[in-house]
A and B are shown apart, each in its own frame.
Chain A
Amino acid sequence: MGFPKIAYRALEDVVGPEFVSSDPSICIAYSRGGYGTGIYDRGKKLPGCVILPKDTEEIQTIVRIADRYKIPYIPVSTYFIGFCTPLRSNTLMIHLRRMNRLEIDEKNMSALVQPYVSYSQLQIEAMKRGLFTCATMAGAQISVLANHISFGQGQLTHRLGIGSRRILGMEWVLPNGEVLKTGSVGIPGAGYFWGEGPGPDLRGMVRGYSSNLGGLGIITQIAVKLFPLPKPCVPEPQGITPRTTFALSPDTFRWYMINYPTPEACVNAMYEISKAEIGAVVMRTPSLWRNIRKATSKEEFWNLYETDKVKIEQSKPNVIRVLLIGFASPKQTDYEERVLKDIAEETGGSLRRVPDTGSADCFQPSYTNCAFRPGGLFISTKLGYDSIDHALIYLKEGMKIKRAFMPPLLDDKEECGWICSYDFGHHAHGEITSYYELSEENSAKVLEFEKQCILQDLEMKAFMGFQYGAYHDFTGPRMGDYHLLLKKIKMALDQNDLSNPGRFVMIDPKKEDKDSYYSLMNRD
């Protein structure tokens, strides 16, 4: 059965024939995601229709039409992650491509963004005004809005904190078509300046790796906090692809690597750096990242990997990367450097200044997809957001599981994983990145690896590091039935289960879900 004609005509009336299509050749481009291919897009369906609304009013009408004809829909913007792939037949893809409003309030250091504003667009316009945003490591091409509402990961979070807390109000089209405004914008005429209130602050309801994911309606615009650049000018770009970067002044920007014998020593140093309240980026990076970053091609990566792996196995390097930024003045950079040197010495680390080739990374991260270089695909497991200590424990345990899955996962000789500090070490993001090739057999093993990680988290009472709602029915009953609360939220806002069904929480598993990721996760 094709997409209902009556609904299609109604949608055409809203946006005009140019901006809606149910042609399979148009729909097919919305039938998969890139990240987690073969895993998160299992059981995927060809969408029934794609629509390109231009504003909030059109989205309200579209959502109401979907509700009237019981059509599942998925809001998508820059579309990187497989969670946007439809699990239901005849899904309507609401591509927010035309929603690209960007307004910067220079005086109040904030920016109003719609879903199709990329980090690179916001960053360049902000920089021209002496401001900047904390870009996600997922890449400068990523939607500012999507990243901020889901979590707001970034390198500079050690200094600037989690992105979702930097939201200064949201405009949200609920599944019934009504508009909900949060934070200060909830008060008529107040504008976007405060996330907490005086209107409702519902940022927590949409935030999280395994939360909203377009399952509670469509957030059409948000305001985000900006920060003053240490030197109010756009840095000079330099280099040619695949090595382009900004020329940043060493007076103000300095990168360091500190090598430790163990992950525990890394964590200890991260705490010391945090206590001293220095640094803009502080993170423990997996050894393999160095090879990924250094290589300019897959083959170069493999050469480096083959050369380094014995060395890595023997010396087991544990590296933290630190970026110092003299936000106030070059004197601050000098001061922080002296403190960092002292900390490195006191904690038994071997510190060295590293070239600033990656200096653009924290502003316009354009190298991120190098993560696809080693194996063609990658997946992140054990995604947690708790303390630095906590990350160390669950990542180390996770690596023990991972070793049993090499192959098909690339043997990265890693003993911990990636730990990124937030808010001067008050909390941290942890993650294990794994690289694989696409095949039925490999996907099944990667799924099993992920499942074992979840079971281990449950057993350890660790942060539940999974990325979308397929696990809630499995983990909820083992964790105080929290999943029932999520289902209540979903039912309150989207009782017909039409907004990205199956990704937030599964309300009513359908027959067609039998091959999906959800079913595979809940089979036992």
Chain B
Amino acid sequence: MTLENYRYDATYCPRCSNCKWIDHVYMKSSRFAMICPSSARYLFDTYSAQGRMDLALALLDGHLGWGPKVLDAIYKCTLCGACDTMCKRNIDLEILEVLKGLREKVFEERKELKTHRSMVKGIKRYDNPWSRPRGVKTGWREGFSVKNVKEGAAVLFYAGCLPEGEPQYRLPRLALKILTEAHIDLGVLGTEEKCCGSLSYQVGERDVSLDIIRKNIETFNGLGIEELVTSCSMCYGMFKAVYPAYGKLNFKVSHVVEYIDRLIQDGRLRFNKTLDLKVTYHDPCHLGRLGESYVHWEGKRTEFGRLVPPKEFRRGTFGIYEPPRNILRSIPGLELVEMERIKENAWCCGAGGGVKAAYEDFALWTASERLEEVKSLGVDGLVTCCPHCEQNLSDAAKHNGAKIKIHDILDLVWAGLNGMEV
């Protein structure tokens, strides 16, 4: 869908500012009342959803040229979907689609940021955003025996593109170890696994992204799998909320936390070690607000802007919020303390939307804000279940000299199963 398709949504933004604040009823303090990192950091209204609606209209109508500030305003946004969720408490405007449309327009007009251009090139050439050789995608399973899904398996484990040498490289391996422990019939694609296209999609490169999406759908559907499981929240968000717009998926999509939660509920996975830890949990945007299933709608606007047929709106409230919490609560000895901004009201980690690649300082600032929120809780660690969140929050902690330890939930699950130190 192009930006023009969402002209109504941009036009009817009532400038109410609700896109900047968390749900007022769930507000716990004036300090952590904001929800849009871009608006909170850059202050001018152009850096909020409402300002970006004005930008969109001005660009559509040719009232504004492509100056550096325009690109700055479009891309200093983590595309976390918070504005969209907050807007939809009152008005069903597709704010996030306007933000995505703006980015597509940038690529259409060939005005993209150099960083994003080279990232997309990397995805095209190396099949990962890090511009590393394709073989790197299998390095994480060295010394670990797992069959190729083509040999026949009910579950495809999708590892995602992880930069070699980074600590997050351990996550697919950990996920596989845990699932293997529960005797799950799974396989991997190995070197044939292609990038999910999330990063190219987020920065607005439509052609490359659609090519990836269509090829992946064809590959996955041809595998005869029942379920695709991934440990990356960004990949999950793509498979769950974006892919179905471009083709039917003949399998279920799950994040590994959903799968592990099910295994625990079914008694197939039991924790036998006590973890004397007090932790808090950070909701990744692509698993939470942006992790709701895609809902197809085709129709038109009629009198007074009514949609015919009525549209089922995704408001960010049915993302994957409980499974990770269920897992943490079921680990003996572990105490989960909630932050002020959680679930659909969660503050983004700052890594998404191409921000980490193009504006490292903004990414770190956003993560630092999250760490400030954690500070007052007196916890030993911050848990998340997205490699991108983990990386950015860890970078911020290191940058600020914060003593907080950032865990992926898989670290704690593995420790709860095997008693390893976390």
Contact = CB atoms under 8 A, between A and B. Distances in A.
A365 B18 CA distance: 11
A80 B45 CA distance: 12
Contact of B17 (A78, A98, A437, A438): A78
A102 B70 CA distance: 33
Interface in A351-392: 360, 364-370, 372-377
Contact of A141 (B12, B20, B63, B313): B20
B1 interface: no
A24 B63 CA distance: 9
A26 B69 contact: yes
B365 to A, nearest CB: 13
B44 A298 contact: no
Interface string A417-452: 000000000000000000101100000000000000
A241 interface: yes
Contacts of B58: 24-25, 28
A372 B16 CA distance: 11
A373 to B, nearest CB: 6
Given A23-B69, A52-B44, A368 B90 contact: yes
A262 B196 CA distance: 63
Given A25-B73, A118-B21, A34 B14 contact: yes
A297 interface: yes
B50 A29 contact: yes
Given A23-B67, A29-B44, A364-B25, A244 B17 contact: no
B69 A121 contact: no
Nearest to B26: A237
Interface in A392-427: 410
Nearest to B316: A241
Contact of A79 (B11, B15, B23, B92): B15
Interface in B300-337: 303-307, 310-311, 313, 315-317
A503 interface: no
Nearest to A360: B25
A28 B64 contact: yes
A366 B12 contact: no
A25 B67 contact: yes
B210 to A, nearest CB: 29
Interface string B38-80: 0000011110101100110010000110010110010000000
Interface residues of B, number: 54
Contact of B64 (A25, A303, A369, A438): A25
B30 A26 contact: no
Nearest to A435: B304
Contact of B306 (A19, A52, A124, A299): A299
- Residue in B67, B89, B303 with the greatest tally of chain A CB atoms within 10 Å: B89
B33 A121 contact: yes
* Main secondary structure on B side of the interface with A: loop
Contacts of A97: 43-44
A245 B14 contact: no
Interface string A290-310: 000000011110110000000
Given A29-B44, A241-B316, A299-B306, A125 B88 contact: no
A374 B305 CA distance: 8
A495 interface: no
Nearest to B311: A299
Interface in A223-264: 237, 239-242, 244-246
B198 interface: no
Contact of B14 (A35, A95, A241, A298): A35
B317 A369 contact: no
Contacts of A244: 23, 25-26, 89
Contacts of B186: none
B344 A241 contact: yes
B15 A32 contact: yes
B310 A299 contact: yes
B29 interface: yes
Contacts of A438: 11-12
B422 interface: no
Contact of B30 (A124, A140, A141): A124
B55 A29 contact: yes
Contact of A377 (B12, B20, B310): B12
B70 A125 contact: no
Nearest to A370: B90
Contact of B16 (A23, A50, A80, A128): A80
Contacts of B51: 28-29
Nearest to B321: A240
Contact of B304 (A34, A365, A375): A375
Contacts of A300: 310
A237 B70 CA distance: 39
Nearest to A29: B51
Contacts of A366: 18, 23-25, 89-90
A398 B302 CA distance: 29
Interface in A31-82: 31-35, 37, 50, 52, 78-80
Contacts of A245: 25
B91 interface: yes
A110 interface: no
Contacts of B14: 34-35, 37, 80, 369, 372, 377
A469 interface: no
A28 B46 contact: yes
B125 interface: no
Contact of A28 (B12, B30, B55): B55
B228 interface: no
B90 A373 contact: yes
Nearest to B93: A372
A475 interface: no
Nearest to A139: B16
A50 B266 CA distance: 59
16 contacts: A24-B67, A25-B58, A26-B44, A28-B46, A28-B63, A52-B43, A79-B15, A80-B14, A122-B30, A125-B29, A139-B18, A141-B18, A241-B317, A297-B310, A369-B14, A410-B304
Closest 4 CB pairs of A and B: A34-B14, A29-B51, A34-B15, A299-B310
Interface of B: 11-18, 20-21, 23-30, 33, 43-46, 48, 50-51, 54-55, 58, 63-64, 67, 69-70, 73, 85-86, 88-92, 303-307, 310-311, 313, 315-317, 344
Given A19-B43, A141-B18, A372-B90, 9 more contacts: A26-B69, A29-B46, A29-B54, A35-B14, A80-B17, A241-B23, A244-B25, A298-B305, A369-B18
